[in-house]
DNA sequence: CAGTGGTCTAGACCACTGG
DNA sequence: CAGTGGTCTAGACCACTGC
């Protein structure tokens, strides 16, 4: 490891020079720097989603720090949902290919059913097209207007009732090769497919929620009257490094379901 | 402190007997038990919102554990937003009487305004009535049907535009003495008033969000057409100990604002 | 300057998992 | 049983605040 710090060369704040007029570099504790190094390895794909990362003692040896310092770094990565700790087994790179993770991004729950074990959503892909990014889509995805993007539209149904209409935009380059067939033949979460097929892991997302009336298109696909109130959920998802990687606009029927949010 | 554990009497798992057939008590680390003790003091009002709690060394001495153990307990209380740490000063009981805390519960942001410095909401109380709890309100607040409750209705406006219509139910007993005048003459967050006047601190909340059409009443108060899509936000707020203390149903106009949610 | 929280270490021991 | 993460301790030192 060329970048491994040596004991005689600890990474210290204020090291090196900086432009006059700029603020002095903030103090950065060792464990934060270790966290940064582990993060770099995650981004670089040194350990893939589902993989076990080296043990705390191994990492402590690698970075020449104490186990406690590595521990604190991993603690933060765990609360960021980037890794998962399993006592007695090890620490693993988080993945969307797990049942209990599904509802971290899909927050629409049935009003009644105590358990959400009323089956998974039935999915129907409407189309998957190659387009040029509009100004708005480009801005949000960090592209330039006219850049290649993929657009996917699909409907999710629960118990036969069409409930969610989604329009998804993906940057063309990282998702080269994604086709309707790939999507249609896949079972399991779409974000798991992104991980396994394109090496793109969604890490966090930001949603803007509004109430809107169904237009003719949405009304038809969701089997409601035109003007029927729907939840509009616009989600921008980010991969490592705060890079936006997916723009998604969902229209949710909330007749018998609701969007659940916990404030704390 | 009658309940302070002594060094010869550490609180250990499996202590005491338990009913046959029940599961063996789960292992509970020391720091969790310390957290529990601190929590009890918070609930009992030993330290009030805004107060500084004893230093880590003081608490370590009081509970006869190491500073590191107290530290981990306080760490969890801090991530639960029950206390706030301030380096060099101390650890303080969290309070809603702070500017930057406001938007932890009110998540409606302007679509455009980069900064939310377009002023606070103008508030108008419509009414404040003493009622008997309906079955539904009683169930959610953990009361019995017919128990005394307070109902407050109010409208929040931004820049003169009525935007939020709220209906609030409070259990009668803890909020005895709350009147329209109290509410109307108060500036500052309602939850701060609850803390200072009634000793009730809201700790977390759960929201159910739907899209609905405005009824005649809401349409009039929010100055929109009947049937206009509105966000319905039903919030149940809890105080310490997971005790529900407020039920609130808000109708939000989302023409120029949106409900923001961060997924991570 | 003293007092607070924040970092880092080294080491002991515990709880959990799987072979 | 060995290997993993989880807890707990004791002590040193650092960064920040306010007097």
- pLDDT category of residue A5 using cuts at 50, 70 and 90: very low
- Per-residue confidence (pLDDT) for residue A11, from 0 to 100: 46
Find the farthest-apart pair of alpha carbons in chain A and give their distance in angstroms, rounded. 71
The answer on pLDDT for A92 being more than 70 is: yes
What is the enclosing helix (H) or strand (E) of B232?
strand B229-239
**pLDDT, tens digit, for every residue of B54-111?**
999 999 999 999 999 999 999 999 999 999 999 999 999 999 988 676 678 999 999 9
Within 13 A of B138's CA, how many CA atoms are on the CB side? 11
> Is pTM, for the whole model, over 0.85?
yes
* Residue ranges, CATH 3.40.1410.10, chain A: 107-259
A105/B205 Cβ within 8 A: no
Q: On chain C, which bases lie within 7 A of the protein's CB atoms?
A: 3-11, 15-18
CA distance B22 to chain A (A): 24
> Which residue ranges does chain A devote to CATH 1.10.10.10?
1-94
Q: Are A239 and A245 in contact (CB under 8 A)?
A: yes
CB contact under 8 A, A207 and B263: yes
Q: Give the CATH number of domain B107-259.
A: 3.40.1410.10
Residue B264 pLDDT: 87
Cβ neighbours of B148 (radius 10 Å): 15
Q: What is the mean pLDDT of residues A166-176?
A: 97
The stretches in chain B having pLDDT less than 70 are 1-26, 99, 101-102, 114-119
Tell me the chain B residues in contact with residue A212 when contact means C-beta distances shorter than 8 Å. Answer: 211, 229, 254
Interface contact flag, A211 B207, Cβ < 8 Å: no
pLDDT tens by residue, A147-167: 999 999 999 999 999 999 999
Contacts of B107 in chain A (CB under 8 A): 263
Cβ of A263 and B104 within 8 Å?
A: yes
Question: Which residues of A make CB contacts under 8 Å with B?
Answer: 79-81, 104-105, 107, 111, 203-213, 227, 229-232, 234-235, 252, 254, 258-264
Cβ neighbours of B211 in A, within 8 Å: 211-212, 229-232, 252, 254
pLDDT (tens digit per residue) in A191-206: 999 999 999 999 999 9
How far, in Å, is the CA of A89 from the C1' of nucleotide C16? 8
pLDDT at A112: 87
Residue A118: the pLDDT is 60
pLDDT at B120: 78
Residue A133 has pLDDT above 70, yes or no: yes
How high is the pLDDT of residue B6? Answer: 37
At A246, the pLDDT band (50, 70, 90 cuts) reads very high
- The pair of structure tokens assigned to B213 is 């059409």
* Residue B1 Cα, gap to closest chain A Cα (Å): 31
Helix (H, G, I), strand (E, B) or coil at B17: coil
Distance of CA B42 to the CA centre of its chain: 14
**What is the CATH architecture assignment of A1-94?**
Orthogonal Bundle (1.10)
Residue B91 CB in 7 A reach of strand C: yes
Q: What confidence score (pLDDT) does residue A115 get? A: 56
Specify the 3-state DSSP secondary structure of B121: coil
HSE of B188 in the Cβ direction (CA atoms, 13 Å)? 15
In tens, the pLDDT along A73-90 reads 999 999 999 999 999 999
> A249 versus B5: which is more confidently predicted?
A249
Contact, B11 CB vs strand C, < 7 Å = no
Better pLDDT: B53 or A11: B53
């Amino acid at each position: 490891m060329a970048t491994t710090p040596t004991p005689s060369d600890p990474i210290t704040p204020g090291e090196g020079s900086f432009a006059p007029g700029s603020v002095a570099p903030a103090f950065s504790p060792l464990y934060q720097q270790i966290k940064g190094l582990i993060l770099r390895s995650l981004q670089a794909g040194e350990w893939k989603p589902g993989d076990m990362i080296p043990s705390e003692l191994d990492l402590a040896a690698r970075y020449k720090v104490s186990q406690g310092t590595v521990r604190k770094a991993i603690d933060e990565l765990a609360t960021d949902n980037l890794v998962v700790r399993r006592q007695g087994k090890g620490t693993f790179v988080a993945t969307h290919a797990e049942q209990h993770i599904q509802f971290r991004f899909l927050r629409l729950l049935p009003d009644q059913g105590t358990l959400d074990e009323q089956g998974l959503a039935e999915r129907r892909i409407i189309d998957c097209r190659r387009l040029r990014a509009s100004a708005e889509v480009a801005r949000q995805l960090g592209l330039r207007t006219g850049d290649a993007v993929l657009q996917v539209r699909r409907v999710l149904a629960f118990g036969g009732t069409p409930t969610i209409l989604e329009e998804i935009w993906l940057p063309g380059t990282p998702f080269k090769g994604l086709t309707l067939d790939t999507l249609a033949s896949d079972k399991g979460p779409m974000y798991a497919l992104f991980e396994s097929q394109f090496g793109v892991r969604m890490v966090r997302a930001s949603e803007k929620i509004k109430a809107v009336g169904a237009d003719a298109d949405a009304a038809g696909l969701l089997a409601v009257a035109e003007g029927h109130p729907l939840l509009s959920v616009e989600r921008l998802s980010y991969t490592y490094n705060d890079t936006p990687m997916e723009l998604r606009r969902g229209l949710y029927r909330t007749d018998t379901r609701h969007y659940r949010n916990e404030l704390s």
